[in-house]
Structure formats: structure tokens, C-alpha cells
Amino acid sequence: MPHPSFLARWLAVDPDSAGLVLDGLPYTHGELRALGERVGGWLSALGVGPGDKVCVQLENGRDLVAAHLGCMAIGAVRVPLNAHYRAAEVGPIVEDAAPRLVIARDPSIYAGVPVVTTVEEGAPLGTWPTPPGDVTCWLFTSGTTGRAKGTPQTFAMWERNLDALARRWELSPEDRLWLCLPLFHTHGLVLGLHGTLLRGASAVVTARFDPVLPPAGTTHFYGVPTYYRRWLDTMHAHPDAFRALRLLVSGSDGLPAELSDAVYAATGHRVLERYGMTETVIIASNPFHGERRAGTVGTPLDGVDVRIVEGEVQLRGPSVFGGYEPRPDPGAFTADGYFRTGDAGELDESGYLRIIGRKKDLVIVGGVNVSPAEVEVHLAKVAGVAEVGCCGLPDLDLNEIVACAVVADGTVPLDALRAALELAAKELSGLKRPRRWAFVAALPRNAMGKLQRARLPGEAFA
């Protein structure tokens, strides 16, 4: 008998069991399914059908989850977008995704595609047709080329990974997650929302993270290092509220050892670190029971084959995507089928994986990947700029911030040029905006003329 698909398993969950709390209101799993069917009916009435793409640019909440469920109910392909993206950022994604519909609060940043600003409900269809091998979602990930890359996702790649993760973390339907991670990102969307649905568990969804006490009944929490750093004062003031939790997880960026120790001292919990990517979901994790080895992201999950080649982490397995679309990258995979992560790492004698650097130039700001090339391309259009180079600099709160080194062409006074650059940066979402600026005579380049971003922190921002 074939293994039941993701949707079949969720549709079999007890309809009266607790599901999600959205905008402060509780929904059972049965009520969530009914909501999806009604929103699916509304989408169908707007001309959206199976396989059509729907861009969704909303904050965490009922409308965002309802849009996802509605697309799932009719087999449409979701394209989640950062709720803070501006026109310059959504334009290339819309061009590549070619959506049938956009659901967004601000239609002014879209052109040439139908936009609706609210999620509505129509006649329920109740079809739920998506087979596990079909693409259910396109996630766009920051790349070193300066243009976000489309990574098609299937229920099948998520399901195998979420099952392996549930075994590793000993998750169950009785767990209750505080889900404040953004649902445009793998961490929040796949692990948080879809992991909860697949297990028939429950979650409290909030628009964002605030360093307050966890919602009542919370058993586990997924966050990024910045969250834990901002949470420390509350942890010290109310340690018993945190000791009642079962699991604290950190990902999307390295957790500094001193921060891990501070959380442990305040709560008695050793934060569990894991490692994943949009293209692969979760690759490795420390165990729930067993040694959470400091400075590592644990061992590979079941079914994930990890190797280190010339210092680069490479992998293959059932949760690895099939390739970028609609702009394939022929160098993304090795000749024998391993995905090249671009991250530098090493495996110790016990099989624990340590990430020791990024071969990619990405800057991770508050757990969000920022492509310096994307920022450079945008700022290079400013009059008076001859060259521009961006890099990451350490930051106590966000772990890293974007810094920008500029070579002026001499046609605009430096004060006016900086003002123009800062104005242009406001066309990007907040985490992409440079927080440090430097005007330099030249950018560091190699013998072939390629920008050496790794040298910028020491040479332009020393």
C-alpha cells in the first residue's frame, strides 16, 4: 500500500482537535480544512486553477494562513513573499513566477498582474487535489547573482523531511508551537506551519516575535539567534515560565556559544541547533535526547547523505529540490547528483557537522539571508556612483548588518551622494538597507577583476 500523502494524512486528522490560533481566535483542524475549502472556492471564482501560481505578500495571521490553505485546496502553487518587500524586490520575482494572482496589501508595487488586497471566502469546493509529487510552493531564495532564485517545492520533499525531524526532536500531536517566524521562509512555513498540520499538532501564530512570555500551553519554540538575544531579560525575570517548555530550537544563522550558555543559565534549556536551506529543508540537527554538541549543527537527518568536498558541504536526499526555475543554475549540482550548498564545513569523528564559514557571500541579518549583490545592483544606479561593494559586519543584536563601500565618480559632492544612496536604500526592505557606509578610492579585487567582498570588512570598515 502506498504511503499516504501529506494532504491525505492531514485530512485524516481528528477534525475536533486543536489546530491554530490565528489573530487570537482558535481553529480546530476541521475548521482549518473548511476555511481552506471556502477560500479555494473564492480563488477558483477568480480564475485560479491547479498549477497556477499565486503570490502571497501578507503578514503572519489569519488571511495569510487562509490563502495558503485555499491554494492547497485547489492545487494552486503558492509563492510566499516577504511582507516588507518593495517594488524593486518583488518585480523580478513576479517576472519569474508569472502568477495568475497576487494577494497583497499594497497593490501599487505590482504592475501587469491582477492584485487583490483581502482574502475572501466563496462556495466550498472540497477537492484537495494535489498529489505529493506536484509542486505546491515556490520559495525564492537570495543568491550570489543579485537576483532571487525560484526553488520549486513539493509535499513529498517536505513530508520525508518533517517525518525525520519529528523523530529527531520527538515531536507529537500533543505539542504546541509558538509560531512567530515569518511564513514566507522555510523555517516558519515548512517546519512551523506544515509541520504542525502534518502531525495534527497545534500552534499559536503571531505576526512577529516580541520578547514576552510564551503563550499559555506552549511546549516548543523555533527562533533565530536574534530572538534569543532579545529574550534574555524576560528569561531572567521569569525563569519558571521557560523551564516549563520542552524544546527551544535555533536556526537560519549560527548561535554564538556565549548566547547558548546565557539561555541555558537562565532557563535550564540548551538550545537545539539545526542546519537547513530553502533548497533542502533541514539537513542536520542535534538530537532531543543525547549530546547537543556545542559549535555543531548535529548529524544528518535520516535519508540525507552529506559529504565534504574541498571544504564545501554537499548533499543529496529526498528533501533536496530538483533545480532552480525558471533560471536553471548548471553549477548547482555535481556530476554525481549532490547539491552544492556553498557552505564551508567539516564532519567530526562522530559525524557531527560543523559549519565553519560561507563560501557564498550572503549576509545573514537577524536570521534572514541578504544577497550583497542584490543591494549592489540597486545602489549602483545612483548618480555619482562609480562602484559599490557590500559585505556583512558583526552586530550584537542582529548577528550581522549590511555595510556598503562606495567609490564615487566625482560628479556629485559626497554629502549629497550619501543622501542619495540612503534614499535609494529605502526602496529595499529594512534588513537589506546598509547600516554602515564608507567612501573608498577603490574596491578590493583579484587579478581577474572580481570583487573580493571578504576583504571589505578589514579594508573599508576597519
The pLDDT tens digits of the residues spanning 202-213 come to 999 999 999 999
What's the whole-model pTM score? 0.85
Q: What value does the mean pLDDT of the chain take?
A: 93
Q: In degrees to the nearest 10, what's the CA dihedral of 74, 78, 84, 86?
A: -110
Handedness of CA 356, 359, 361, 362 (dihedral sign): negative
Could you tell me if residue 231 is left (phi over 0), alpha (psi between -120 and 50 degrees) or otherwise beta? alpha
Amino acid occupying residue 357 = G
Q: Which of 80, 128, 127, 129 has its CA nearest to residue 103?
A: 80
d(CA 181, CA 184): 9
The pLDDT tens digits of the residues spanning 319-352 come to 999 999 999 999 999 999 999 998 888 999 999 9
Q: Is the pLDDT of residue 23 over 90?
A: yes
Q: Hey, what's the cell of 429?
A: 526592505
d(CA 215, CA 205): 10
Mean pLDDT highest for which of 130-139, 172-181, 287-296, 356-365? Answer: 172-181
Overall average pLDDT of the 208-231 stretch:
95
The pLDDT tens digits of the residues spanning 400-432 come to 999 999 999 999 999 999 999 999 999 999 999
User: What was the pLDDT predicted at 448?
Assistant: 56
Handedness of CA 138, 142, 144, 147 (dihedral sign): positive
User: What was the pLDDT predicted at 454?
Assistant: 85
Position 186 confidence tier, pLDDT thresholds 50, 70, 90: very high
Least confidently predicted of 196-205, 285-294, 333-342: 285-294
The contacts of residue 47 (CB under 8 Å, 6+ apart) are: 100, 101
User: What was the pLDDT predicted at 352?
Assistant: 95
Overall average pLDDT of the 39-61 stretch:
97
CATH architecture for segment(s) 363-460: 2-Layer Sandwich (3.30)
Q: Where are the domain boundaries for CATH 3.40.50.12780 in the chain?
A: 6-191
Least confidently predicted of 109-113, 237-241, 271-275, 294-298: 294-298
Overall average pLDDT of the 95-124 stretch:
96
The pLDDT tens digits of the residues spanning 355-387 come to 887 666 789 899 888 888 889 989 999 999 988
User: What was the pLDDT predicted at 145?
Assistant: 57
User: What was the pLDDT predicted at 2?
Assistant: 40
User: What was the pLDDT predicted at 344?
Assistant: 86
Overall average pLDDT of the 36-57 stretch:
96
The contacts of residue 330 (CB under 8 Å, 6+ apart) are: none
| Secondary structure of 359-419 in HEC code, one letter for each residue | CCCCEEECCEEECHHHHHHHHCCCCCEEEEEEEEEEECCCEEEEEEEEEECCCCCHHHHHH
> What CATH class has 6-191?
alpha beta
Q: Where are the domain boundaries for CATH 3.30.300.30 in the chain?
A: 363-460
User: What was the pLDDT predicted at 1?
Assistant: 33
Q: Hey, what's the cell of 359?
A: 563560501
